[in-house]
Chain A
Amino acid sequence: MVDLPRKKVGLIACSGEELACGTLSRVAVRQVLESLRPEDTVTLCLPLFLAGNEQERAFARFYPTIAVDGCDKQCAKRATEKYSAKVAAEVVVDKALQEQGIAVHPQWRRQPDQSGLEAARYIAERIAVQVDQILGHEHPGPTARVGEQQEAQTAPAPATCSCASGIPVTQIPVGERLVDILALEPLLTLVHEQAPARNDGLGAKLLQAIKVYNDISPEAEPEYEQALLREYRQRFGKEA
């Protein structure tokens, strides 16, 4: 059985230390990770995009991401798009709360009180709806899920931090270039397990599998197909 990474949504909070809405961004993200959509989401500490390595920057190419920003400077969105890939959705906390008529209190910066946690919950519910839309999942309405969260707060699910998620990145030659491929090994194994004996359409199958997690332009597809066939035959040569 192939241990293929499950498709999840990456949540990136700005966590802005100067502002109450920065704290709410991280609290809301943790609520989604721990209680509302623990099976469908992972996170990454935002400054890792700059301080981290290729694996950490591969995060947003591997996962569709939602940027959760405290203010209109939108550091989380801008950093994700600068260092990794375009975000799938975005939430700006101060704007969203203002639209809802929720006043933000400066003391929430350090520790949100009950009303601060409720404001974060409102943001978390919005994020959960976006997660469902991105993954095409059907969930009960967010309000129904909030009741579940109340119970879950005593024993939150272990939230996933992407710096321990182990997205495998493999560099292979494609045409004249060396290219990073996300999840190459499990995807090759998956294709092999599904259709091990036949060469018919093997290149197209490999390409289809790899494209789930890697952005490949249509004009580059023939080169990628050749490269993937070569990698596949190196691993399963006798059988392919």
Chain B
Amino acid sequence: MSDNSHVLVIPCSGVGKPLGSVAREAAYQVIEDLRPGMTDTVCLSLLTMGDAEAQEKVRTHPTITIDGCAKACAYKNVQSTGVEPTADLQVVDTYREHRELKVPAVIDIGETGRELACHLADKVAKEVDRIVEGGD
């Protein structure tokens, strides 16, 4: 049974490309700034490795995945636990709307990277609201 009052936001663990770091920053913006108390995350690698507690969280809460590249690891790995993510966002879709926001590096995504993450986080927050308000 799904507890819709609390939403999991799971970014990809992308370490090779800057957009993976944007996914991660967007998730933290939602969890810590935009929707604290009603969102949380789990380690994707822990979930992937079959950790019982992580899998239980994903099974009992709606989940939003954020992917940094087309390989869609966050989406696929959540799906592999037998749960379909409630929503799935790709960083590149937001980047297409804001092509001026180039992301310079993986470790420090810079001001432009944080701004891109901000636009993405707004979308994620709206999805959280939709889920919590019963729109899903």
Q: State the A residues within 8 Å of B (CB).
A: 13-19, 22, 26-27, 29-31, 34, 43-52, 73, 75-76, 78-79, 82, 109-111, 156, 159, 161-164
- Are A29 and B15 interface neighbours, CB within 8 A? yes
**What's the minimum C-beta distance from B40 to chain A, rounded to whole angstroms?**
8
- Are A51 and B16 interface neighbours, CB within 8 A? no
Q: Please tell me the size bucket of the interface on B.
A: 20 to 34
Given known pairs A48-B73, A163-B71, the reply for A27 and B16 (CB within 8 Å) is no
- Are B25 and A75 interface neighbours, CB within 8 A? no
- Are B16 and A43 interface neighbours, CB within 8 A? yes
Chain A residues with Cβ under 8 A from B80's Cβ? 50-51
Chain B residue nearest in CB terms to A160: B16
Chain B residues with Cβ under 8 A from A50's Cβ? 48, 73, 76-77, 80
CA distance A100 to B123 in the complex (A): 41
Number of residue pairs across A and B with beta carbons under 8 Å? 110
- Are B13 and A110 interface neighbours, CB within 8 A? no
- Are A17 and B16 interface neighbours, CB within 8 A? no
Q: Check if B131 is an interface residue, CB within 8 A of chain A.
A: no
Chain A residue nearest in CB terms to B107: A30
Chosen A-B contacts, 16 in total, with CB atoms closer than 8 Å, are: A14-B43, A19-B43, A22-B43, A26-B13, A45-B12, A45-B20, A45-B71, A50-B76, A50-B77, A73-B46, A78-B49, A110-B32, A156-B105, A159-B106, A161-B15, A161-B16
**Residue interface mask B9-40, A partner, CB < 8 A = 1:** 01111111100100011011000100000000
Q: Check if B87 is an interface residue, CB within 8 A of chain A.
A: no
**What's the minimum C-beta distance from B125 to chain A, rounded to whole angstroms?**
16
- Are B15 and A76 interface neighbours, CB within 8 A? no
Contact of A73 among B32, B51, B73, B76 (CB under 8 A): B51
Given known pairs A15-B13, A45-B15, A110-B25, the reply for A76 and B73 (CB within 8 Å) is no
Other A-B pairs, 15, CB within 8 Å; known A47-B13, A50-B73:
A14-B43, A17-B24, A17-B41, A17-B44, A34-B107, A43-B16, A46-B15, A46-B45, A47-B12, A47-B48, A47-B76, A51-B72, A51-B73, A73-B49, A159-B16
Chain B residues with Cβ under 8 A from A75's Cβ? 43, 45-46, 48-49
- Are A51 and B105 interface neighbours, CB within 8 A? no
Contact of A30 among B32, B44, B71, B106 (CB under 8 A): B106
